[in-house]
């Protein structure tokens, strides 16, 4: 688990705010604002943070659903943002995403078997016979009877639809899967079934996951490492056990103080942050967390802290933790 499958370098994804009538640009939403991140082959990286912090935008940029403003996304060492047309097609197969609401990404007019067979024949070049056999196999692998292939998307429950969406991604034999709040809309018992399925498939197919979620207990269960985002930036990144046992960034401490304590871990005092998350169209100067941080000093509003290694594999962007204030 040492080679990076994805390396994000100084990624910016900005969206212009335009007036309705003349389409004049009156501002910029800095959804992702200078993120660098490595994801090792075979690992699951959990990406957490409040709504609007930019985590989904990163996932969508990796699978080319968003066009970055600047920066690089290296897939197996090659920048996918300036790839040739044939490489883009290959990347689109190998880099897949599973969404929170699979219903919107499934064609309501096709049975599941037709949908899978179309993917297998058109995108994987299989014969109709092979595609039929493979679609039954895929349904079995995600825990559905092949007979379910005759159903339409609306005839499934939420958990079953998510299994179908996973089967469709698997049909393309992905190397890297972005799970964007993939279990957030499901009941807790169904959530754990889908998590177990994802973990089994990962071992079976040797995949790598970027697991985006606000459900911290799920992230702790599934991830090897965790990165925490605040307002378009990574503020802390560490192996899962380290970050959940001893978060060092004040934002991570507040975030993790909200989850129930498991036995054997020190009881944390609940930290309630004051105020709202500032707008990504009006990012605070210096440390972008300073408007809500209980430890903010003068320097914090003036100078942006660097992401610095504070322990082996544990990175944090905070002047206080880095001993600068």
- Which residues of this chain interact with ligand SF4, rule CB under 6 A? 250, 287, 289-290, 293, 295-296, 300, 305, 318-320
Q: Nearest approach, Cβ of 325 to ligand SF4 (angstroms)?
A: 7
CB closer to ligand SF4 out of 149 and 305: 305
**Between 72 and 304, CB nearer to ligand SF4:** 304
Question: What is the rounded distance in angstroms from the CA atom of residue 16 to the CA atom of residue 14?
Answer: 7
Contact criterion met (CB below 8 Å) for 232 and 54 = yes
Place of tokens 């322990």: 311
Q: Least distance in Å: CB of 293 to ligand SF4? A: 3
Among the listed residues 166, 225, 215, 238, the one whose alpha carbon sits nearest the alpha carbon of residue 43: 225
CB 209 within 8 A of CB 45: yes
Burial of 188 (0-12, 13-18, 19+ CB in 10 A): exposed
Nearer to ligand SF4 among residue 124 and residue 325 (C-beta): 325
DSSP per position, 131-165: HHHHHHHHHHHTT--GGGGGS-GGGS-HHHHHHHH
Q: How many CB atoms lie within 10 A of CB 110?
A: 14
Q: What residues are paired with 37 via a beta bridge?
A: 8
Q: How far is the CB of 222 from ligand SF4 (least distance, A)?
A: 27
Nearest approach in angstroms of CB 255 to ligand SF4 is: 12
Decide whether 64 or 268 has the Cβ nearer to ligand SF4: 268
**In terms of DSSP H, where are the helices of 142-276?**
158-171, 188-205, 216-222, 240-245, 250-256
Cα distances (Å, whole numbers) of residue 11 to 33, 85, 166:
7, 22, 28
* Shortest Cβ 244–ligand SF4 spacing (Å): 19
Q: Which helix (H) or strand (E) holds 9?
A: strand 4-18
Q: Least separation, in Å, of the C-beta of 241 and ligand SF4?
A: 22
Least gap, CB of 228 to ligand SF4 (angstroms): 11
Q: Of 152 and 295, which CB lies nearer to ligand SF4 in the complex structure?
A: 295
Q: Which residues have a Cβ under 8 Å from the Cβ of 82 and sit 6 or more positions away? A: none
Of residues 3 and 306, the one with the C-beta less far from ligand SF4: 306
Residue 39 or 318: the one with the smaller Cβ distance to ligand SF4 is 318
CB of 239 to ligand SF4, least distance (A): 21
Closer CB to ligand SF4, residue 165 or residue 287? 287
């Amino acid at each position: 688990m040492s080679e990076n499958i994805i390396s994000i370098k100084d990624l910016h994804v900005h969206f212009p705010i335009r007036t309705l009538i003349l389409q004049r640009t009156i501002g910029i939403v800095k959804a992702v604002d200078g993120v660098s991140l490595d994801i090792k082959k075979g690992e699951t990286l959990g990406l957490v943070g409040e709504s609007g912090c930019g985590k989904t935008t990163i996932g969508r940029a990796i699978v080319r659903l968003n066009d970055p403003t600047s920066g690089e996304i290296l897939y197996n060492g090659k920048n996918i943002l300036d790839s040739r047309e044939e490489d883009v097609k290959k990347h689109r197969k190998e880099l897949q995403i599973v969404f929170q609401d699979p219903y919107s990404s499934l064609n309501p007019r096709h049975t599941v078997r037709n949908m899978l067979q179309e993917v297998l024949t058109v995108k994987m070049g299989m014969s109709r016979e092979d595609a039929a056999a493979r679609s039954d196999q895929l349904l079995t692998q995600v825990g559905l009877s092949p007979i379910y292939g005759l159903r339409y998307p609306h005839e499934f429950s939420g958990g079953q639809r998510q299994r179908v969406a996973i089967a469709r991604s698997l049909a393309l034999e992905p190397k890297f899967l972005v799970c964007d709040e993939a279990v957030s809309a499901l009941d807790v018992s169904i959530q754990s079934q889908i998590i177990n399925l994802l973990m089994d498939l990962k071992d079976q197919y040797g995949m790598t996951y970027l697991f985006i979620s606000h459900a911290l207990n799920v992230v702790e269960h599934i991830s090897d490492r965790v990165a925490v985002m605040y307002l378009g930036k990574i503020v802390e990144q560490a192996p899962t056990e380290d970050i959940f046992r001893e978060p060092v960034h004040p934002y991570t401490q507040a975030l993790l103080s909200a989850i129930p304590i498991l036995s054997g871990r020190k009881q944390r005092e609940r930290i309630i942050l004051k105020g709202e998350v500032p707008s990504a169209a009006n990012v605070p100067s210096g440390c972008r967390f300073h408007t809500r941080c209980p430890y903010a000093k003068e320097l914090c509003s003036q100078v942006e802290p660097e992401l610095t290694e504070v322990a082996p594999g544990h990175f944090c962007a905070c002047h206080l933790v880095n001993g600068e204030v």
